[in-house]
Structure 1
């Protein structure tokens, strides 16, 4: 009897094992989860050749065919692209924590001290400390109020320089003036001094270095997507990054040494770098290193100058194409401010049309056309599609700003749209996904507040202080784009300006 029972138990166990094995085999053969639609691409290199020289434009065209959430195989990597406000909200709000890290890339390695900065660092204690210090002492609301006088001084200095150029009858090279002023603003806050005492070859070289950094860091580098051939540097991008990094490292090292040599002069009046040095404790005795601090300064000087200046340059260019906008802006400013003094930051809330011009420029010409890439830490699902772990995320901010389902006549530059009830409440600070020039979520640009203040105040000052026109002989303005982390004008804007305020308004 016991033998019969044992045999039946053994047979039952065997049958259970066979059935379980069969079920597991069927499960392993079931169809893979559905990925978002997207182009097939090429063998090995995938969709990389489809991006061309203007990836934001190419991806926007693809999205019209494949939809708001699009999947691309990029070499050995997965990439998903969000091209509408709802798709961006799904990734940057609903799934924000899952997409809080950056994927490894050549820019982080060769430009940002191997991701030791705030922009490319992993989401964690070091990133949080760098972000906290930057917000408390430079980029947050209270900090921005504290250095309002610095902005006023540097804008005044820039306006005087423009007046001198106008007296000679020469055109102003707008991006050079803007970079010079903004670098000195940031220098005064970080280092207690202007970093460029005189406009000249040194400041022009800095501008060129910033543009080169933003351009090269925005490239789709083959080595990032096929790591096994990264050592070949087929596009020459990484070699250029290494040379540029050496230039920036020499400049930043010099700044830090000069800052240390003048410590006694700042006794009782610490600047941003003093505060960072004094509050560099992480946890359990771990501290921010000199490399971390150099990398942070690189972030602040490059992103702080190039992104805001590009928005202002595009806005002026658009208005030169449509003088009626200048006329309406001048009428508003003359009514609110008059012509006997300069614009002050406290005037801006009373200038809704100026604010509308700024928003319209951020919509049509976002400083960052494609957000800095993020990467998923675990699998997830969006709009019914499966997104694997390790998938890179790119949000096409440029495409969102030109989405005809969101914006009426999106290719027109029409500031008045932001005075209408439909769009008037839309704000660029990351909560309204129709307009996210600085990104959104926990990895939103740390300088969002500063960027908005600089754009509104500096653009407003340039509009209020001068009449603008194109140089004689320039029939139509070149409005071509140059792709990079920041969306530059392919041809820098040069324009004639003439003072429109009382002479006393331009005095220091």
Structure 2
């Protein structure tokens, strides 16, 4: 029997029966997709724009400019923002790396860190910060997590409280006397003083005294010293090694290395900076950790019973639940290193720049010394911390140096934890927000004649109230005391013309040439300490 094939009309009818529902479904799906895409485009069009962006390369963004430009990275950033006439911008990096958002306007910075503080409270990770913090066990460098909250609580309640500051007064005063002894001995020998050496080592000595109780430590385990001072009170070799390692560690905490922006390269030492960071950290902790180990042993054995310094405080803290030590030896060691770094760079740099500015401007130097003589009395006693509240002009000099001559161009970076709108711009999640200390302090929209060193811009009225705030006032008091002693006790003559030029370094804004000057006593001889 012949097969019973359907006729052409039957085939057409069957096909039409199948095709119509399919076409209707496809049409409906297409309409839904078009509506969805339109809504997304409409929603996207309502989003705030990204900050202005400089021209970038396909795929790799601005990585060549950030990493390999002939100028230091921060100068390239500021030049680009000046060309674009913007106080905020967005710098793109290759996929897998963050975007960078520099800010030059104080109003935008305030909005970012006050109104949106929760969005920008975190820190980005970097090779340097990971090494120095011992894997983020400290209070400042790590991401905001339970460990950070634990250490932050310890710092605020036990270390940087006003009561603790008063408790450590005598140690700071002793090092202020040692500074005068050192400069006076150089003076009597007819020698010049390198003020970079003097200021850095004063800051290092003060912090060592507060942390470890002494400037010099004999370590019986290693038979090493933190450097016996020289006969004139200057730093010994171990003190020099310690301070140099601290500044190196600070320099490379967030050094904008390749591996910081391309994390998958970390550990390969691509640009050589990772090795430098590790060596600096090794030096710092080789000098500090045996002291801490010995102190822990003394407390656990019962040999030590009196709390004398900050290491004692950290070692003796107890957990409220089980009464066991609150901090591990690793936490104490890494926090000690972080504390040393926290106070050594800003005060020393500010005072060196201030002295350079004042020596170049004798009229300003005269105002500062006149105020000290008026507040303290000429030939009556040395200036003390209790006088700082009345030294308005001297404080203004320090604040002006903080404004005009920051030690590093950017504050420690913040990282956005969510998409956030700031100043009308969308800051994408994961962006590194860089507040430019250099740009904020020199912004012509904020400061009149911004490149001029003018302390009086910080004096608001005849009573001498100071308006420029500093996020951490201990930097101001620390620096003011150092500056006041140098001005009260000596007159200063430069070796030659002082060039107020910044070092052409990628990361630092020190004077290009360390400030060296000849001191001459200006007080009665009996006021100068005879021993250190």
Q: Where does residue 60 of structure 1 map in the other structure?
A: 78
Matched, 1:115 2:136: yes
Deviations, residues 121-153 of structure 1 (Å, cap 9, x unaligned)? 122332233223223333222221221111111
Distance 2:525 2:79 in 1: 50
Confirm or deny: 8 A CA contact 2:415 2:430 kept in the other structure: yes
Matched, 1:136 2:157: yes
Distance 1:255 1:484 in 2: 34
Question: How is 1:55-204 mapped onto 2 (pairs within 5 angstroms)?
Answer: 55-66=73-84, 67-75=86-94, 76-195=97-216, 196=226, 197-198=228-229, 199-204=235-240
Distance 2:264 2:152 in 1: 34
Deviations, residues 419-461 of structure 1 (Å, cap 9, x unaligned)? 245995523233xxxxxxxxxxxxxxxxx23212111111111
Instruction: Quote how far apart the aligned CAs of 1:16 are.
Output: 6.8
SS of residue matched to 2:89? strand
Q: Where does residue 401 of structure 2 map in the other structure?
A: 361
Q: Where does residue 343 of structure 2 map in the other structure?
A: 304
| Consecutive aligned runs of 4 or more in structure 1 exceeding 6 Å deviation | 10-16, 282-286
Q: Which has the higher contact order (CA 8 A, sep 6+)?
A: 1
Instruction: Quote how far apart the aligned CAs of 1:361 are.
Output: 0.9
Q: Where does residue 220 of structure 1 map in the other structure?
A: 256
Instruction: Quote how far apart the aligned CAs of 1:478 are.
Output: 5.0
Superposition TM-score, scaled by structure 1 size: 0.87
Distance 1:231 1:271 in 2: 37
Q: Where does residue 400 of structure 1 map in the other structure?
A: 440
Aligned length in residues: 481
Instruction: Quote how far apart the aligned CAs of 1:179 are.
Output: 2.7
Q: Where does residue 490 of structure 1 map in the other structure?
A: 512
Deviations, residues 287-312 of structure 1 (Å, cap 9, x unaligned)? 54322222111111122212211111
**CA 1:305–1:505: 2 relative to 1, 3 Å:** same
Superposition TM-score, scaled by structure 2 size: 0.83
Distance 2:211 2:138 in 1: 16
Q: Where does residue 429 of structure 1 map in the other structure?
A: 470
Matched, 1:379 2:400: no
**CA 1:381–1:134: 2 relative to 1, 3 Å:** same
**CA 1:288–1:269: 2 relative to 1, 3 Å:** closer
Distance 2:258 2:320 in 1: 35
SS of residue matched to 1:292? helix
Distance 1:230 1:125 in 2: 25
Q: Where does residue 37 of structure 1 map in the other structure?
A: 52
* Selected match of 2:477 from 428, 433, 453: 453
Matched, 1:325 2:364: yes
Instruction: Quote how far apart the aligned CAs of 1:18 are.
Output: 5.1
Matched, 1:350 2:390: yes
Deviations, residues 357-416 of structure 1 (Å, cap 9, x unaligned)? 111111101234201111111111112221111111101111111111111111011112
Q: Where does residue 284 of structure 2 map in the other structure?
A: 248
Q: Where does residue 23 of structure 1 map in the other structure?
A: 35
Matched, 1:50 2:68: no
Confirm or deny: 8 A CA contact 2:127 2:266 kept in the other structure: no
Confirm or deny: 8 A CA contact 1:190 1:272 kept in the other structure: yes
**CA 1:133–1:484: 2 relative to 1, 3 Å:** farther
Distance 1:49 1:348 in 2: 47
Q: Where does residue 309 of structure 2 map in the other structure?
A: 271
SS of residue matched to 1:498? strand
Distance 1:456 1:127 in 2: 31
Gaps of 5+ in 2: 1-21, 217-225, 230-234
Between 202-211 and 256-265, report the one with greater CA deviation: 256-265
Q: Where does residue 497 of structure 2 map in the other structure?
A: 475
SS of residue matched to 1:97? coil
**CA 1:287–1:18: 2 relative to 1, 3 Å:** farther
Distance 2:370 2:23 in 1: 94
Confirm or deny: 8 A CA contact 2:101 2:432 kept in the other structure: yes
Confirm or deny: 8 A CA contact 2:51 2:426 kept in the other structure: yes
Confirm or deny: 8 A CA contact 1:40 1:72 kept in the other structure: no
Instruction: Quote how far apart the aligned CAs of 1:261 are.
Output: 5.2
Instruction: Quote how far apart the aligned CAs of 1:77 are.
Output: 1.9
Matched, 1:506 2:515: no
Instruction: Quote how far apart the aligned CAs of 1:162 are.
Output: 0.8
